[in-house]
């Protein structure tokens, strides 16, 4: 008799990498020790013979203990397996006990959860598929000995090539591979045929076979050499000749193991074979504008390098980094026409600044220097505030 609720948990748990006899706990409730199946790897174990079950009388969860210990490479699976049956019957005018009703409802809930767990492990169409999708398999005679695929237009399941056809192709591929592997042996046999066969006619046939084999060999070697001249493999530096020591051909490729990129030979220099697009300044069109990075003062690069360039949205101006500080780039606002008339500067110095020893500085005042901020003027320089 169950005296506990049935929780909403999956009725299956798998242990991997565990060793020993257990116990191996299962988190779902059961009514009796026959309500579970236990697998060791892919083998269904037998209750009592291979394992025992312990069930909590208040929780309904429990554990199993193996008779023979598992190793770390074993997989122990515990899954709900209550028999699909009804053992109670309510008669008209008879007693109606709550515990009997609870047991019946618990059993139905457990069976529903078992079905849901099995469905979760099946192949299903996603809920976002169109309602017109029909996932019904072709009938058994249509799909027998065939591979399953999905229609390119509807996405519905259908059969394609037969297993026999694919097996034939696979065998043919194996034969082709064997021929390629045995080219050296064929060449050796062709070379020795004339010495083995004494008859003139046989010798002529052997010579013809040798000639054909050598032609096939030469064609194979030529094709490989052509490929080898164009893909040079993995190298740590830019090659100056191909793998045969000959001059490089335009379009040759190699993988640079230091930079981690593929490079192509233009006919005069090695260049990257592709651009990832990361950290590349885009343009709006071939005759348009460069899309310069922009952001606030707080969003400047934490570790800027000399030459960095951006648009500062806090200051509403272009700025560049000279190796020590950020500075405005470009002229001030225009006048009434197209002439550049005004040169503007801020009124407050908010960060420490040292005028370079080879430079003088000019500002329009009044100028306020924030508390704790220092402007350093070398003895060889001047700072004029107008």
Per-residue pLDDT tens over the stretch 138-165: 888 888 888 888 888 888 888 887 777 7
Q: How far apart are CA 345 and CA 341, in angstroms?
A: 14
| β-pairing verdict for 157-162 and 51-55 | unpaired
Q: How far apart are CA 339 and CA 329, in angstroms?
A: 17
pLDDT of 200 reads: 63
Residue 59 binned pLDDT confidence (cut-offs 50, 70, 90): very high
The 10s digit of each residue's pLDDT in 183-219 is: 766 567 666 665 665 556 666 777 888 888 888 888 8
pLDDT of 206 reads: 75
Does the structure show a pLDDT above 90 at 383?
Answer: yes
Q: How far apart are CA 354 and CA 90, in angstroms?
A: 96
Distances (CA, A) of 29 to 99, 115, 289: 16, 15, 67
pLDDT of 266 reads: 92
CB atoms within 10 A of CB 28: 24
Q: How far apart are CA 375 and CA 350, in angstroms?
A: 10
Residue 172 binned pLDDT confidence (cut-offs 50, 70, 90): low
- Burial (Cβ within 10 Å: 0-12, 13-18, ≥19) of residue 53: buried
Helix (H) / strand (E) element for 224: namely helix 200-230
Ordered DSSP codes for 345-356: --SEE-S-EE--
Does the structure show a pLDDT above 80 at 261?
Answer: yes
Is residue 273 within 8 A of residue 262, CB to CB? The reply is yes
Q: How far apart are CA 17 and CA 349, in angstroms?
A: 65
The 10s digit of each residue's pLDDT in 88-145 is: 777 787 777 777 777 777 777 888 888 878 877 888 788 777 777 888 888 888 888 8
Is residue 38 within 8 A of residue 50, CB to CB? The reply is yes
Where is average pLDDT lowest: 12-16, 73-77, 166-170, 226-230?
166-170
Provide the token pair at 34: 């026959």
The 10s digit of each residue's pLDDT in 269-306 is: 998 887 666 667 788 888 888 888 899 999 999 888 99
Could you tell me where the beta strands, DSSP code E, fall in 189-344? 231-235, 253-256, 261-265, 270-272, 294-295, 309-312, 317-321, 326-328
Across the range 76-91, mean pLDDT stands at: 85
Provide the token pair at 79: 């899954």
Average of per-residue pLDDT values in the chain: 84
The 10s digit of each residue's pLDDT in 235-252 is: 999 999 999 899 999 989
Residue 44, strand partner residues: 39
Provide the token pair at 307: 């030459």
Query: Which residue, among 233, 231, 234, 187, has the nearest Cα to 213 in the 3D structure?
Result: 187
The 10s digit of each residue's pLDDT in 20-48 is: 999 999 999 998 999 999 999 999 999 99
86 versus 78: which is more confidently predicted?
Answer: 78
């Amino acid at each position: 008799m169950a005296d506990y609720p049935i929780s909403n948990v999956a009725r299956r748990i798998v242990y991997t990498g565990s060793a020993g006899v257990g116990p191996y706990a299962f988190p779902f409730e059961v009514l009796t020790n026959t309500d579970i199946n236990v697998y060791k790897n892919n083998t269904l174990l037998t209750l009592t013979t291979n394992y025992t079950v312990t069930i909590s009388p208040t929780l309904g969860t429990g554990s199993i203990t193996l008779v023979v210990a598992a190793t770390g490479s074993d997989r122990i699976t515990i899954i709900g397996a209550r028999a699909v049956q009804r053992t109670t019957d309510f008669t008209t005018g008879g007693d109606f006990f709550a515990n009997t009703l609870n047991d019946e409802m618990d059993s139905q809930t457990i069976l529903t959860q078992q079905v849901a767990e099995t469905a979760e492990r099946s192949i299903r169409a996603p809920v976002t598929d169109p309602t017109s999708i029909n996932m019904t398999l072709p009938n058994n005679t249509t799909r027998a000995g065939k591979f399953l695929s999905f229609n390119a237009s509807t996405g519905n399941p259908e059969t394609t090539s037969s297993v026999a056809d694919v097996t034939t192709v696979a065998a043919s591929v194996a034969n082709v591979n064997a021929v390629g592997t045995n080219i050296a042996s064929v060449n050796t046999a062709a070379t020795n045929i004339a010495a083995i066969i004494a008859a003139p006619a046989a010798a002529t046939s052997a010579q013809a076979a040798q000639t054909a084999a050598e032609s096939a060999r030469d064609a194979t070697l030529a094709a490989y050499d052509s490929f080898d001249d164009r893909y040079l493999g993995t190298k740590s530096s830019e090659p100056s000749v191909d793998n045969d020591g000959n001059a490089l051909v335009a379009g040759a490729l190699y993988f640079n193991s230091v930079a981690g990129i593929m490079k192509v030979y233009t006919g005069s220099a090695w260049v990257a074979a592709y651009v990832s697009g990361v950290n590349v300044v885009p343009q709006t069109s071939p005759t348009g504008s460069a899309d310069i990075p922009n952001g606030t003062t707080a969003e400047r690069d934490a570790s800027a390098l000399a030459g960095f360039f951006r648009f500062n949205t806090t200051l509403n101006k272009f700025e560049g980094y000279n190796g020590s500080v950020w500075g405005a780039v470009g002229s001030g606002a225009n006048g009434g026409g197209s002439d550049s008339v005004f040169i503007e500067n801020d009124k407050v110095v908010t960060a420490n600044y040292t005028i370079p020893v080879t430079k003088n500085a000019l500002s329009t005042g009044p100028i306020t220097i924030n508390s704790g901020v220092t402007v350093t003027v070398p003895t060889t320089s001047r700072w004029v505030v107008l």
